[in-house]
Structure 1
């Protein structure tokens, strides 16, 4: 019989105690408690108050650098009062994710050049809720953009060609990997049919990023830079170590993913109703938001249609009441448009497209109606065509892109029929998309919409 005494000393084990066991029920219960605590901290009230606190830091950054505030959409606009907002940028964090670094050809952000030149720089505002000190959009996507712009527009200034990233966030290894891809990004950018000579006239100095977070502190005085325009990359939220919540009900990056929590609030409505929202009790807040959002319906500012250059006849925007259009293509859900042609007005085509990703998938099928409609316009040498959407310009942008690829020549002239000179492939589509992005920087078509257009054109 084997006894404890007969087992060699080095192989003996202490008896197992109940305190050494981890029961699944205990672990599950702890997880549920922690999830409940997180949910209680992530209330709408806590989010709105956190946004308001972070906006105070953003205002301090503006005062310290005396530069205009540019919101990196969509998150950044929550932290910038509308009267302080000089413009919008569209830099995606996904373009800065490890291994996925990219210079987006559908988000060129060329509208930034005029703001930067006028003020000798700017402050781009964004945030992140994932327990990081700054979002990937600010640590990598914007630095990539600055480097590509510098190399493309200032090829002779070799000293401005180096990629600059924050060493406290981006490792030396990742920095080296991104650097290896920059030359390809520049080549892709230069392959677009854009007027780079005119673009170069819009900016007098290369760009150089500088990072500011609530933990980094602010300069006591700022004089700017003689050789560079400074792009201050401001992370609005302070970093909470270990996660996205919480410190005295503070929520890091509270504005992120607003579709999931804002209940219809937008940054503009938030700032217009700031007093009522922050003074409402937690119980009354849902009704307060509902009433504010309902009251705001119908007050949406409609932008004037924008001409897609170099064409002279393709416009994107809200439909106007005058009769300047010879053709109007609208994108909206079923039963929201009377599609019958009006002999006294423009010829009309209604594409039945819902909202969001579902609508983007419907776009591929609805685009099949466009060729027959275009054929009815042959009596006009260069018809003025308006592409309009009821909710956003996303789907209208997709229709405009299809028209540019099928019926517009290289110089922007209206062909009215498909031409063998238009080799419709992914590169060609990207080149025509650059016309839209240069003319209408805030278009920012979704990936799902672009996939539907690609499938229609190349299917």
Structure 2
């Protein structure tokens, strides 16, 4: 009996792999993107954001992106992450009157857990923190209200002048789970306040409290009754689930060929994309979709290789794309804070705003910037560069003493790669910052390893106010996880695409809490 069960499981897995062809995935994404485009046109004034990474596939043009993890909304793992605060989303929503976030799911559900729980928790915690901040500001000038200031958390719903601090969840989340979440809201709000997040800026930006709304392909919308977004008494965070929930695989036909629809096809791109990126897909979408399933794999291989050669000719990092064989696949001196780095020619592709991946983020008033290694050769020659990519920068550098290459790999590949290289990184950074140099820290994506190294440098050599003190404040105290969390929140305020992995962050903490001595001369 057990053997029969295993055989059935193997057969079902084989069938699933056969259906998950490259063409089926891309055609499914293309079809779902039409729905996303229709919804975005209902409120064209609202910016469209992609929830990384899956959501990034579902539109040719996003205003920005965000990173709300579904795992933070899993029933047995409910959490509010201070390392993924996404405060730029709240600021953008305040400036534009709301925003739309696109994501998808393979699970056969209408919405991923990132939309069902993670984002509703986020909006509620932010609303509570904003209310508490405003309540304290209102009563801080009145000595008789000192007790009210200390009890601001207990005043939710009493001192609020129409500011909604309640938890808004979709109907399919049970009352039991809602009660579980509500019990933890105060603790999460305390964590947000303790993280040092810039609540004041959010409070100034938002005129109305944040509130999620949910739209899927099953949502009935009467076009003659679509409300104006500014008519609501809240700032809408419109959550658009791109995929159909009718089933994981659906047989569909066109006049030329048949294909299978895959719900949430954009998820887990490493397993199916064969080196194709969302940007590259949308540059060639019509050609790919019209080519059909028989020649899709070869066409994608040609597109990816042509792009790789082009990047190599421009001196960018362009490693060969390795595809796992599958039997079942068919044949200025400082950059302005938060602003993109415009390259030497002064233009960007198609005259559009440069993408978030091409930002070099300057960390406040410090002399530290982070970004992708491919942009490092474009910075002024006065900058010193700490390159953490696997590949060394191509071309010549005017002053080798201002360049250090540490080929650090992700913690999934080597659990101690970052830890073993951090002492060298800290020593180099200290020597350059002492001289008043501007330090660019770069890695392959500008989101993980470079962020972790900048976190170690800021913690080691800067005080709480962000002033370089050569490690004096570091030597006087023992680093805690809360200290690191506060510094990471500071970094994420400027590097909004930061996505440091847990494994790499653990190596930073291990180094600073006992394994490294960053105060070396």
Task: Specify if TM > 0.5.
Answer: yes
1:118 maps onto 2:95 in alignment: yes
User: How far off its partner does 1:434 sit?
Assistant: 0.6
User: How far off its partner does 1:392 sit?
Assistant: 3.9
1:296 maps onto 2:319 in alignment: no
User: How far off its partner does 1:40 sit?
Assistant: 2.1
User: How far off its partner does 1:96 sit?
Assistant: 0.4
Counterparts of 2:93 and 2:279, CA distance in 1: 24
Residue aligning to 2:228: 223
1:245 maps onto 2:249 in alignment: yes
User: How far off its partner does 1:51 sit?
Assistant: 0.7
1:429 maps onto 2:484 in alignment: yes
User: How far off its partner does 1:263 sit?
Assistant: 0.5
Counterparts of 2:208 and 2:358, CA distance in 1: 32
Paired residue for 1:336, among 376, 384, 392? 392
Checking the alignment, whether the CA contact within 8 Å between 1:69 and 1:122 is kept in structure 2 is yes
User: How far off its partner does 1:339 sit?
Assistant: 12
Q: Deviations over 1:179-208 (max 9, x none)?
A: 111111111111122433233112211111
Structure 1: state its 5+ residue gaps: 1-22
Counterparts of 1:455 and 1:284, CA distance in 2: 50
Residue aligning to 2:65: 88
Checking the alignment, whether the CA contact within 8 Å between 2:366 and 2:467 is kept in structure 1 is yes
1:277 maps onto 2:288 in alignment: yes
Residue aligning to 1:180: 183
Residue aligning to 2:171: 167
Question: In structure 2, do the counterparts of structure 1 residues 285 and 452 end up closer, same or farther at CA, with 3 Å as the change threshold?
Answer: same
Checking the alignment, whether the CA contact within 8 Å between 2:25 and 2:262 is kept in structure 1 is yes
Paired residue for 1:70, among 46, 49, 56? 49
User: How far off its partner does 1:62 sit?
Assistant: 1.4
Counterparts of 1:37 and 1:77, CA distance in 2: 27
Counterparts of 1:122 and 1:294, CA distance in 2: 36
Counterparts of 2:9 and 2:201, CA distance in 1: 58
Counterparts of 2:448 and 2:232, CA distance in 1: 40
Counterparts of 1:214 and 1:26, CA distance in 2: 38
Higher Rg of the two aligned structures: 1
Question: In structure 2, do the counterparts of structure 1 residues 378 and 31 end up closer, same or farther at CA, with 3 Å as the change threshold?
Answer: closer
Mapping for residues 19-418 of structure 1, pairs under 5 Å:
27-66=5-44, 67-82=46-61, 85-155=62-132, 156-157=160-161, 160-168=164-172, 170-220=173-223, 221-224=226-229, 225-241=231-247, 244-248=248-252, 249-297=260-308, 298=311, 303-309=358-364, 311-317=365-371, 318-333=375-390, 336=392, 344=399, 347-354=402-409, 357-358=412-413, 361-377=416-432, 380=435, 382-418=436-472
User: How far off its partner does 1:378 sit?
Assistant: 6.9
Checking the alignment, whether the CA contact within 8 Å between 2:368 and 2:438 is kept in structure 1 is yes
Counterparts of 1:431 and 1:383, CA distance in 2: 25
Counterparts of 1:376 and 1:394, CA distance in 2: 23
SS at match of 1:424: coil
Paired residue for 1:442, among 489, 494, 497? 497
Counterparts of 1:304 and 1:69, CA distance in 2: 19
SS at match of 1:358: coil
Counterparts of 1:320 and 1:339, CA distance in 2: 8
**Residues matched between the structures, number:** 428
User: How far off its partner does 1:113 sit?
Assistant: 2.5
Checking the alignment, whether the CA contact within 8 Å between 2:478 and 2:513 is kept in structure 1 is no
Counterparts of 2:411 and 2:291, CA distance in 1: 31
SS at match of 2:440: strand
RMSD: 2.5
Counterparts of 2:279 and 2:300, CA distance in 1: 13
SS at match of 1:70: strand
TM-score, normalization by structure 2? 0.77
Checking the alignment, whether the CA contact within 8 Å between 1:129 and 1:253 is kept in structure 2 is yes
SS at match of 2:493: helix
